[in-house]
Amino acid sequence: MYFTPVCTTEMIAMTRANNKFEEKGACLLGLSVDSNSSHLAWVFDIYCKTGIRISFPIIADRNGSIARKYGMISTSISNSETVRNVYIIDDKGVIRAILVYPMTIGRCIPEILRILEAAQAVDKCGGATPANWMPNCPMIQPIPQTMNELKERIKEIEKQNNGIGWYLSFKPQCNVNNKTC
């Protein structure tokens, strides 16, 4: 299965972006149902051809037990071909996002980084991120829980022009990297 062209480009791209993940406190980890020997040969081939050393571990899940636990193998399709998933798992072991890619479409590293930073911004500053949110952009305020909070939100929106209604208003950007909101 390895030595596939799409996966090779992804391994290189992930290695090039590894510092960005580490700056955000994230650790990259690869998983496949191929053998450790296959991984070694593949990683060595990438190094020999490009000079790039893959900077994160790749787990050999030969019997697919880990892949099955995470829903990466669909027995209706194959007993061994994995689904090309990306999982963003927080420091408490909670899966925050799952991206599923077909065999023919490469992963988008900037989008994976954006999702990671969005999850961190929500954790740090509360609220939610709107469509097309980018780091350091305004976030959606939590919805009011009481009538008094609703009335205060309406006044705030009228004063600051920061929303379209009590249920959708924005708060200033949340800067996760600089630790300010």
Candidates 7, 27, 108, 181; catalytic one: 7
CA distances from 58 to 31, 166, 169 (A): 5, 47, 43
Phi, psi of 107 (to 5 degrees): -70, 150
Spell out the alpha helix ranges (H) of the chain.
5-23, 36-50, 65-69, 109-125, 147-160
Phi, psi values for residue 114, rounded to 5°: -65, -45
Specify whether 125 is catalytic: no
DSSP state of 100: E
- Structural contact between residues 26 and 89, judged by C-beta atoms closer than 8 angstroms: no
Q: Residues with catalytic annotation?
A: 7
